[in-house]
């Protein structure tokens, strides 16, 4: 079974600090995509960052970066210089290449404190 585990139900950090959200996953496939999605109170899932499993280089998008450890099946998200607008639920997800289904974790509720 393909699963995604987010072990931190809630986190909080002071504005401008750095925070890391953890994610582990399980798949028997070798080619897949990993994603972090943000879900603010507006409920819309917003793609934060994605990583192709065949790429060794960690993905970076402005203040957001990942630490992808394929052997350990770990995919953590680092948010630098956190801002109040980063307050949201964050979901880790993946899908196997050629499989359209996204498998999500249970989410981490992140609160940025002014």
Partner 1 sequence: DAGVTQSPTHLIKTRGQQVTLRCSPKSGHDTVSWYQQALGQGPQFIFQYYEEEERQRGNFPDRFSGHQFPNYSSELNVNALLLGDSALYLCASSLVWQGDGYTFGSGTRLTVV
Positions touching partner 1 (CB under 8 A) are 4, 33, 35, 37, 42-47, 50, 52, 91, 93, 97-107
Q: How far is the CB of 25 from partner 1 (least distance, A)?
A: 12
Which residue, 28 or 114, is less far from partner 1 as judged by CB?
28
- Residues 26, 3 contacting (CB under 8 angstroms): yes
Q: How far is the CB of 13 from partner 1 (least distance, A)?
A: 21
45 token code pair: 């899932």
User: Minimum distance between the CB of residue 99 and partner 1, rounded to whole angstroms?
Assistant: 7
Please identify, using beta-carbon distances, which residue of 41 and 85 lies nearer to partner 1: 41
Q: Are 36 and 48 in contact (CB under 8 A)?
A: yes
Measured at the CA of 73, the angle between CA 110 and CA 23, to 5 degrees, comes to 10
Strand partners for 104: 93
């Amino acid at each position: 079974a393909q699963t995604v585990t987010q072990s931190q139900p809630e986190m909080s950090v002071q504005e401008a600090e750095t925070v890391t959200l953890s994610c582990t996953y399980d798949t028997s496939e070798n080619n897949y995509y990993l994603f972090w999605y943000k879900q603010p109170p507006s409920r819309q899932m917003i793609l934060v960052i994605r990583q192709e499993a065949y790429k060794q280089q960690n993905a970076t998008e402005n203040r957001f970066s990942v630490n992808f450890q394929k052997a350990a099946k770990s995919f953590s998200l680092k948010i630098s210089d956190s801002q109040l607008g980063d307050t949201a639920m964050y979901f880790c997800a993946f899908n196997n290449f050629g499989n359209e289904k996204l498998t999500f974790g249970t989410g981490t509720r992140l609160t940025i404190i002014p």
